[in-house]
Amino acid sequence: MSESTIAVVLGAGTMGHGIAQVLAVGGYEVRLCDLDAERVDAALVKVRANLEGGVKRGKLEADQLEPILLRLTASSDSNAALEGATLLIEAIPENLELKKRVLADATAQNPGLALIGTNTSSLPVTEIAQATSTPERVVGLHFFNPVHISKLLEIVTGERTSEETLALALEVAERIGKTPIVVRDAPGFASSRLGLVLGLEAIRMLETGVASAEDIDRALELGYRHPMGPLKTTDYVGLDVRLAIAEHLHAEIGEGFRPPLLLRRLVRAGKLGRKSGEGFYRWDESGKCLGPA
């Protein structure tokens, strides 16, 4: 893919704004789209704040900031955005039928897309790909939250993903400075499956009064040198997102992934973690943790 590659990111939520940011930093011309115009505006504000933070921490030169922002545009018109694009990454909600429909529409609208990435955390890449006219160009590009900081990119190859597509995906990873792992399409891939085991068990431990949220997290942070405990990680990911993944893995793999009642109760109450201000912890509007809920 050349210098002038146009990349479209669909979905400007928790993940989409970060994916758009790292692509713009990597030199792509990025068009970020969301159905919700408020999300579009909020995403641009977040990207600017992240980049300014990068300048303060010495990760980015101050004079790089404006050129990066100029490479990033955002709108709620995905049809216009897709015109002339060769790279597409979707970061819309974790819903199989929705992802299938949106990618089928996008590939019909622009058959010239060379690489179609889905940021699904757990859904079958092969099935998403089958909904499009070019399944060989579809690959899982599973980013981690927060995207601009996490080093990992999990590349998930579907049954029909071509060697060329995998090569393009590896090229994208290199250009945006992520370390790729290549995983075959299997429920939860490598990362979500392992992350869920810890996350769900931690919630069950909290539910049955084994320890406080903070102490459960400290067990892994201090005992096993995890940078963040499983409950705080769940707050970062979003409790609704984790619940959706757990339901899928429960159906595909079995009992070990049954979602705990506490997780369902919190999601029903709108306690979705960092993005809603409360989950297992409380969070202020800037995303700073205020302590256990």
Q: How far is the CB of 43 from ligand NAD (least distance, A)?
A: 8
Q: 134: helix, coil or strand?
A: coil
Q: Based on the shown chain and the rule CB under 6 A, indicate whether residue 78 belongs to the binding site for ligand NAD.
A: yes
Nearer to ligand NAD, 29 or 90 (CB): 90
Q: How far is the CB of 99 from ligand NAD (least distance, A)?
A: 7
Q: What DSSP element (H or E) covers 154?
A: strand 152-157
The C-alpha angle with vertex 69 and arms to 66 and 72, in degrees rounded to 5, equals 155
Q: How far is the CB of 84 from ligand NAD (least distance, A)?
A: 18
Nearer to ligand NAD, 220 or 272 (CB): 272
Backbone angles phi, psi at 243, to 5 degrees: -65, -45
Binding mask 38-57 for ligand NAD (x = CB under 6 A): -x------------------
Stretch that binds ligand NAD, among 13-21, 124-132, 164-172, 221-229 (CB under 6 A): 13-21
Binders of ligand NAD among 102-121, rule CB under 6 A? 102, 119-121
Residues 73, 43: contact at Cβ < 8 Å?
A: no
Stretch that binds ligand NAD, among 126-134, 138-146, 206-214, 221-229 (CB under 6 A): 138-146
Q: Which amino acid is at 173?
A: A
Query: 81, 198, 241, 246: which one contacts ligand NAD (CB under 6 A)?
Result: 241
Q: How far is the CB of 56 from ligand NAD (least distance, A)?
A: 24
Question: Sign of dihedral through CA atoms 162, 163, 166, 171?
Answer: negative
What DSSP designation does 278 have? B
Q: Based on the shown chain and the rule CB under 6 A, indicate whether residue 235 belongs to the binding site for ligand NAD.
A: no
Q: How far is the CB of 161 from ligand NAD (least distance, A)?
A: 18
Alpha-carbon span 143 to 34, nearest angstrom? 18
Q: What DSSP element (H or E) covers 54?
A: helix 37-56
Q: Which amino acid is at 155?
A: I
Q: 29: helix, coil or strand?
A: strand
Q: Based on the shown chain and the rule CB under 6 A, indicate whether residue 91 belongs to the binding site for ligand NAD.
A: yes
Q: Which residues pair with 182 in a beta bridge?
A: 155
The string over 120-129, giving b where at least 16 C-beta atoms fall within 10 Å of a residue's C-beta and e elsewhere, is bbbbbbbebb
Q: How far is the CB of 53 from ligand NAD (least distance, A)?
A: 19
Q: Strands of 232-287 (E only): list them.
A: 281-283
Q: How far is the CB of 113 from ligand NAD (least distance, A)?
A: 15
The residue with its CB nearest to ligand NAD is 13
Binding mask 151-190 for ligand NAD (x = CB under 6 A): ----------------------------------------
Alpha-carbon span 125 to 161, nearest angstrom? 9
Considering only the C-alpha atoms of the chain, give the largest distance between any 2 of them, rounded to a whole number of Å.
Answer: 55
Q: Based on the shown chain and the rule CB under 6 A, indicate whether residue 94 belongs to the binding site for ligand NAD.
A: yes
- The contact set with ligand NAD (CB under 6 A) reads 10-16, 33-36, 39, 78, 91-94, 102, 119-121, 142-143, 145, 237-238, 241
